[in-house]
């Protein structure tokens, strides 16, 4: 009871924290949510998460502390995108050592997996991989954090007790899950309503008191396994007990004066980013002009080729040999560049065999943080599809991921026990002169690396302000399907028509991605929250 009382006090503290010195800008209210701050800054997909992160930073916490608090809050307020039943990746710049670290807490396939069970896409408990989010957040806090586990969970516990407010975006995502996937999620929810989350609040409180290992070895683990098995899933005790978040050396890329750091495989996003930059290394993109048809054609054709290599080689590095040096060599980039026709799109079938990669869910959340000490965190966490597999763990109150859908029918990304499926999640930190220059990430499945590339190039090559780069029209090309995806309300019709005339099949979409980014300027931090889904940038 004493521990519970301390949690309650921390939760109350979260709501009475004075906010006279913090700046909080909502994307809905400010068309993108832009914050200019001298000391610290952050951008998340939820004003409530941004508020929680700011309170941690203003009370002595660092970027790692704020990241943990934000992630748990998002688990409570954005159950369609992220919960403690998911997984993800983080990139962290440690100012004290000037070193960049990456953390892999991607879900893994259960030991009881069989290839036949996943010959076709599945939903529900069977679609769930072993969750990594709790282990990842605990690893991040233990290596770099300064605050207690209890203090960092307190805001999420308080918000869970208040219940889940169904805003217009959540209501739309619920409707889409029912319409497109026949999933009955959050029954009775509609815009404006508040849904009780007492089970989740209790789960988070237990987690705060007993620690992260309770999720993997204690009573929470036992209850999770029992519920999953009752619903036809295959996650077992050994799966949870043996799960580990993995610190990996970052994938370091170069482009002009910039060093880009992102996560290595099983994420393939960094390889796509690196290959595209190598393919374009000898082109004067600035001379071609910002988002002109010629410039976009070159970028899109480079993306097509980089994705071909991703689909062919990328998988869990523990089970597959990945030829990094070859894929990210200038020789490889030059060879692909020679295959690009400057006037016409070339069909994927003329360049390679059909892809072996499965389509990824685009329902993810990203947040970016820079603290007053110079530390930077760029974190992307996902359930896979919206609401994961649609399975809420009874009595525990959170959705489980559907990461098993991210495996492919063919090697190297085929399903196997304890294997991590390939991913496009690509949190990024960019250094210039060995100092942070830009940190960003986005949701969007296979569109993640192309969205990140677009924002980076708009800032680094075309000199756009960060708000303008985030709000600029987005374009996405992959190997299959081959249609160029563009944003119908933002893309100029003349540009779309010109690309179509060059052989790019076109596919209009409402929006691509949801970027949260920070630009490091002299004397200030510019944080931007994408207006495409709403969110908030803040700082002090």
Hey, which residues are catalytic here? 364
Cα(203)–Cα(212) distance, rounded to whole angstroms? Answer: 11
The SS3 call for residue 445 is helix
The SS3 call for residue 80 is coil
Residue 83 near residue 70, CB atoms below 8 Å: no
* Bond from prior residue into 481 cis (ω within 30 degrees of 0): yes
Cα(456)–Cα(460) distance, rounded to whole angstroms? Answer: 6
The total of other beta-carbon atoms located within 10 Å of residue 335's CB is 12
Cα→Cα distances 51→28, 73, 120, 160, 293, Å: 15, 10, 42, 15, 41
Using the 8-state DSSP alphabet, how is residue 326 labeled?
Answer: H
Cα(523)–Cα(35) distance, rounded to whole angstroms? Answer: 13
Give Cα 16 distance to the centre of its chain: 30
Residue 527 near residue 35, CB atoms below 8 Å: yes
Give Cα 514 distance to the centre of its chain: 9
Q: Smallest Cα–Cα separation from 322: which of 270, 281, 255?
A: 270
The total of other beta-carbon atoms located within 10 Å of residue 158's CB is 22
For 119, counting Cβ atoms within 10 Å of its Cβ (0-12 exposed, 13-18 middle, 19+ buried), the class is exposed
The SS3 call for residue 50 is helix
Cα(397)–Cα(393) distance, rounded to whole angstroms? Answer: 6
Q: Phi and psi dihedrals of 539, rounded to 5?
A: 180, 180
First-to-final CA distance of the chain: 36
**Dihedral sign, CA of 287, 291, 296, 299?**
positive
Residue 406 near residue 384, CB atoms below 8 Å: yes
Cα→Cα distances 8→12, 137, 157, Å: 6, 21, 9
Q: Which residue in this structure is represented by tokens 């959340």?
A: 365
Q: Which residue in this structure is represented by tokens 């690509």?
A: 426
Element (H, E) at 486: strand 484-487
The SS3 call for residue 340 is coil
Two structure tokens written together for 15: 């709501």
Determine if residue 530 is left, alpha or beta; phi over 0 gives left, psi from -120 to 50 gives alpha, anything else beta: beta
Residue 467 near residue 30, CB atoms below 8 Å: no
């Amino acid at each position: 009871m004493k521990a519970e009382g301390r949690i309650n006090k921390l939760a109350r503290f979260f709501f009475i924290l004075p906010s006279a010195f913090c700046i909080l800008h909502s994307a809905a209210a400010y068309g993108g949510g832009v914050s200019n701050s001298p000391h610290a800054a952050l951008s998340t997909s939820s004003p409530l998460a941004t508020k929680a992160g700011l309170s941690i930073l203003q009370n002595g916490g660092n970027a790692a502390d704020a990241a943990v608090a934000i992630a748990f809050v998002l688990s409570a307020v954005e159950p369609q995108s992220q919960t403690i039943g998911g997984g993800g990746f983080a990139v962290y710049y440690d100012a004290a050592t000037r070193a960049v670290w990456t953390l892999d807490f991607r879900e893994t396939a259960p030991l009881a997996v069989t290839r036949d069970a996943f010959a076709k896409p599945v939903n529900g408990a069977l679609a769930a991989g072993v969750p990594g989010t709790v282990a990842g957040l605990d690893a991040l806090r233990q290596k770099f954090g300064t605050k207690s586990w209890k203090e960092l969970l307190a805001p999420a516990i308080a918000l869970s007790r208040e219940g889940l407010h169904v805003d217009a975006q959540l209501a739309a995502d619920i409707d889409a899950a029912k319409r497109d996937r026949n999933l009955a999620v959050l029954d009775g929810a509609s815009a404006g309503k508040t849904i009780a989350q007492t089970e989740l609040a209790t789960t988070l409180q237990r987690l705060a008191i007993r620690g992260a290992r309770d999720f993997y070895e204690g009573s929470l683990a036992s209850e999770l396994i029992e519920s999953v098995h009752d619903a036809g899933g295959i996650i077992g005790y050994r799966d949870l007990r043996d799960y580990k978040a993995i610190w990996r050396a970052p994938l370091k890329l170069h482009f002009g004066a910039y060093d880009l750091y992102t996560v290595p495989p099983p994420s393939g996003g960094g390889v796509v980013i690196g290959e595209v930059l190598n393919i374009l290394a000898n082109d004067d993109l600035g001379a071609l002009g910002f988002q002109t048809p010629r410039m976009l054609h070159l970028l899109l054709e480079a993306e097509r080729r980089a994705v071909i290599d991703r689909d062919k080689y990328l998988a869990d590095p523990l089970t597959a040999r990945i030829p990094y040096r070859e894929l990210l060599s200038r020789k490889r980039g030059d060879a692909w560049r020679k295959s690009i026709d400057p006037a016409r799109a070339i069909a994927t079938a003329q360049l390679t065999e059909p892809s072996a990669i499965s389509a990824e869910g685009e329902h993810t959340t990203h947040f970016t943080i820079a603290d007053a000490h110079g530390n930077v965190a760029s974190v992307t966490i996902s359930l896979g599809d919206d609401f994961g597999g649609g399975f809420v763990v009874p009595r525990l109150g959170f959705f489980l991921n559907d990461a098993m859908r991210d495996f492919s029918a063919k090697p190297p990304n085929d399903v196997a026990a304890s294997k991590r499926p390939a991913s496009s999640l690509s949190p990024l930190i960019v250094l210039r002169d060995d100092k942070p220059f830009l940190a960003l990430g986005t949701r969007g499945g296979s569109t993640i690396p192309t969205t990140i590339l677009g924002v980076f190039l708009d800032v680094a090559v075309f000199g756009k302000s960060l708000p303008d780069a985030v709000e600029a029209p987005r374009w996405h090309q992959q190997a299959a399907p081959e249609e160029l995806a563009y944003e119908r309300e933002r893309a100029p019709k003349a540009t779309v028509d010109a690309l179509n005339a060059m052989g790019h099949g076109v596919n209009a979409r409402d929006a691509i991605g949801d970027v949260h980014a920070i630009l490091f300027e002299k004397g200030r931090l510019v944080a931007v929250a994408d207006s495409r889904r709403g969110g908030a940038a803040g700082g002090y």
